[in-house]
């Protein structure tokens, strides 16, 4: 499997460097930073800051999809993300690729039309199967995350792998090429605390699917519950998951605290990617 990831005109060698995906939530209700960046000026400033701190990709999201989230319409999601995407793309000093964090085909298509280079789908094409055709048409990488409504598994890791294979098959049927596919085991989605820890423990098994792995653990409840810490005190716990995740095969990490996690990733890469 190709270990190069093409984002727009940029090619990234995943054998040499872990990619940092900075989180930019332009929503009023994100679990960690809701409301902080839901104005264009503050969102652009945060995107620039994260890029300067070492983010390789900025992931723009206009709908909070934390557990028990309340869905918003595509129109509302577009109203939130389109002005931010346009403003970032028009910023001369901004060079990093953008990702659109959405499961809706209409939102992804408009974002890609505006120059966004990647799709991040938290439902792995199972919420809107037209999304795969959008990714294929634009040749954009798409991250397929594992997600489900229940925490009732017959056999946790084999079940998650099987369900990710279903998402991969949907992508293939839509015309998405293998080199466009990234997988995400879905920490914090459809899993309880012990199941999340078990996924981390068995993360290397996800390499068997043959695709780059994106890991999203930043500030999540797995860390809060394990350490009994609030959202604003989870940076060290996040760092532990990032370092372990890279050593177990993660190629991209999606984080809030870019500066700290860039340092963690670079130090871990020096030991792991040899």
User: Domain holding 221: CATH number?
Assistant: 3.20.20.20
In tens digits, the chain (274 residues) has pLDDT values of 458 999 999 999 999 999 999 999 998 755 455 556 558 999 999 999 999 999 999 999 999 887 677 789 999 999 999 999 999 999 999 999 999 999 999 999 999 999 999 999 999 999 998 999 999 999 999 999 999 999 999 999 999 999 999 999 999 999 999 999 999 999 999 999 999 999 999 999 999 999 999 999 999 999 999 999 999 999 999 999 999 999 999 999 999 999 999 999 999 999 999 8
The alpha carbon dihedral of 105, 111, 113, 117 has a sign of negative
The model carries a pTM of 0.95
Which entry of 80, 220, 234, 262 is annotated as an active-site residue?
220
Residue 25 lies in a domain: yes
By residue range, what is the domain housing residue 202? 15-268
Residue 212 lies in a domain: yes
- pLDDT (0 to 100) of residue 125: 98
Number of structural domains the chain divides into: 1
- pLDDT (0 to 100) of residue 65: 80
- How do beta strands 19-25 and 252-255 pair? parallel
Which entry of 104, 219, 254, 262 is annotated as an active-site residue?
254
Is 137 noted as a catalytic residue in this protein?
no
- pLDDT (0 to 100) of residue 274: 80
Is 104 noted as a catalytic residue in this protein?
no
* CB-CB contact of 224 with 245 (8 Å): no
Residue 100 lies in a domain: yes
- pLDDT (0 to 100) of residue 54: 98
Residue 274 lies in a domain: no
- pLDDT (0 to 100) of residue 32: 52
Where do runs of H (alpha helix) occur along 121-234?
130-138, 156-173, 193-201, 221-227
Residue 1 lies in a domain: no
Residue 86 lies in a domain: yes
Residue 171 lies in a domain: yes
Residue 71 lies in a domain: yes
């Amino acid at each position: 499997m190709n270990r190069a990831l093409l984002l727009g005109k940029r090619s990234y060698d995943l054998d040499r460097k872990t990619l940092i995906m900075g989180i930019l939530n332009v929503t009023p209700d994100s679990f960690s930073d809701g409301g902080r960046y839901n104005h264009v000026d503050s969102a652009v400033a945060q995107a620039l800051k994260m890029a300067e701190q070492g983010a390789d990709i900025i992931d723009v999201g206009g709908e909070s999809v934390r557990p028990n989230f309340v869905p918003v319409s595509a129109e509302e999601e577009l109203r939130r993300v389109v002005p931010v995407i346009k403003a970032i793309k028009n910023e001369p000093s901004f060079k990093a690729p953008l990702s659109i964090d959405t499961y809706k085909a209409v939102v992804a298509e408009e974002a890609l039309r505006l120059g966004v280079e990647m799709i991040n789908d938290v439902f792995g094409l199972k919420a809107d199967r037209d999304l795969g055709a959008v990714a294929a048409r634009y040749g954009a990488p798409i991250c397929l995350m594992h997600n489900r409504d229940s925490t009732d598994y017959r056999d946790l890791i084999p079940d998650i792998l099987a369900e990710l294979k279903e998402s991969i098959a949907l992508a293939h049927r839509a015309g998405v090429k293998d080199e466009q596919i990234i997988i995400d085991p879905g920490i914090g989605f459809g899993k309880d605390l012990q199941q999340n820890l078990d996924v981390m423990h068995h993360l290397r098994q996800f390499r068997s699917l043959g695709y780059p792995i994106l890991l999203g653990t930043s500030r999540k409840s797995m860390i809060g519950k394990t350490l009994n810490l609030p959202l604003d005190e989870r940076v060290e716990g996040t760092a532990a998951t990032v370092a372990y995740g890279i050593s177990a095969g993660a190629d991209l990490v999606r984080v809030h605290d870019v500066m700290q996690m860039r340092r963690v990733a670079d130090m871990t890469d020096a030991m792991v990617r040899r």
